[in-house]
Structure 1
């Protein structure tokens, strides 16, 4: 890959870019069909960018339902209809007789899924309801997961596979908060959202523990804009919902939505 193309991506992304470029090359030159694992939105953007540069490859994304965040990509030779290829996504339902199921969260389910020995890339979106969890999972491993997932955070569970049209998606809740900040700098907003000192967020940002729109960001002074989704490792995610203007003292009013 040319250095010019690498310059568009963060160094931590170069390995994935190489892999995606090989998918594109094989679809264009060897007429191969590639179905990827689940991609986050940033990875999907990279694949789309590389396909756009090629022009000889068909592409579609599918996460099992229309609003999916994590999706599988299907790359095909340009003469094949990517829409006709199956994304091979299954739906795993998790339930329990134990009332403590209602206390489990996304992290509990994800940790237990990974605990049976599968990779994160094989898992799509996870929807946690009050008395169930619906997990989108790559079909090639869903039976393995169904047989081996017996407990989630010390709660005994039952699993079954369901048709995708039985999915009951949960829209992520946003806890809104209002802030006034001196600037739109990443470090200042992160420190205010999570009530940490500026000093405590600087090093984690510089060491790659922060992402903006799923892209690693190591510059604490990076300005945020409306719509940006920020993830701070160990603390969660938030979205900058609105820049509401300035106060009389010249500070900037923001509306933030924390994912809960």
Structure 2
């Protein structure tokens, strides 16, 4: 593969992953299989794009459930049968006798997991309910998580590994907001959603801590469209549910769904 030609399609900060994905594909062309860590949808798009450039390589995806956002990929020569291959995904369940468990959110669990020295790439989707949390991990770290995850945000927890068939997924909850904006610029809408001044919202965007549809976005003027998912590190993420209706004063009505 021509690296310069590939790079032209992706953000400079994605080039390191592009190199890694290209190497996986090249190895598959030489009859080797590769099981990746969990990839986000943007990384999945990049890898799929590279796989589609060759007729001799195939890819299988799995995330522990059919609607998984984060998935592992198995890249292999096209003659291999992958349906029965182990995708290396384990389910960890977290419960507690402490009533404060109900107050914990996605960020609390993520923080506790990463505090154990775990890489984000080893963690799949995290599903938080009133009864606790079910999250997917790479099978090779399941025992470590089961033994060492004993506390989440000062709440003592019980951690066990369960069969994937017992996974309890959490419904995606969106707090709907209605905005009236002068334009569909990223900085303007993100500022309204997170109640930040334009000067303050520019800081994380220009620092590379903003993603639109899982792709790093440093242009504050980027226009958003219905369906776009925006994440701002440290502030959460939101989805543009609807946009386009113009008010009599020439402003645009936008409906936002903020992930809770």
TM bin, normalised by shorter chain, reads over 0.9
Deviations along 1:176-200, one digit per CA (max 9) or x if unpaired, are 0111111111111111111111111
Aligned to 1:113: 113
Q: Which residue in 2 is equivalent to 1:44?
A: 44
Partners of 2:129 and 2:32 lie apart in 1 by: 39
Give the Cα–Cα distance (whole angstroms) in 1 for the partners of residues 119 and 44 of structure 2: 18
Q: CA RMSD in A?
A: 1.0
User: What pairs with 1:12-23 in structure 2 (closer than 5 Å)?
Assistant: 12-23=13-24
2:73 — aligned with what? 73
Give 1:203 deviation, angstroms.
2.7
Report what 1:183 is aligned to. 183
Deviates more, 1:80-89 or 1:146-155: 80-89
Instruction: State yes or no: 1:201 paired with 2:201.
Output: yes
Deviation, 1:130, is 0.4
* Contact 1:127 1:169 (8 Å CA) reproduced: yes
Partner of 1:213: 213
Report the number of matched residues: 259
- What's the TM-score, normalizing by structure 1? 0.97
Unaligned runs of 5+ in 2: none
CA contact (8 A) 1:210 1:216 kept: yes
Extract unaligned runs of 5+ from structure 1: none
Give the match for residue 125 of structure 1: 125
Q: Is the 8 A contact 1:246 1:253 kept in 2?
A: yes
Return the alpha-carbon distance in structure 2 between the equivalents of residues 220 and 103 of structure 1: 34
- Aligned 8 A contact 1:58 1:81 in 2: no
Q: Which residue of 2 aligns with 1:27?
A: 28
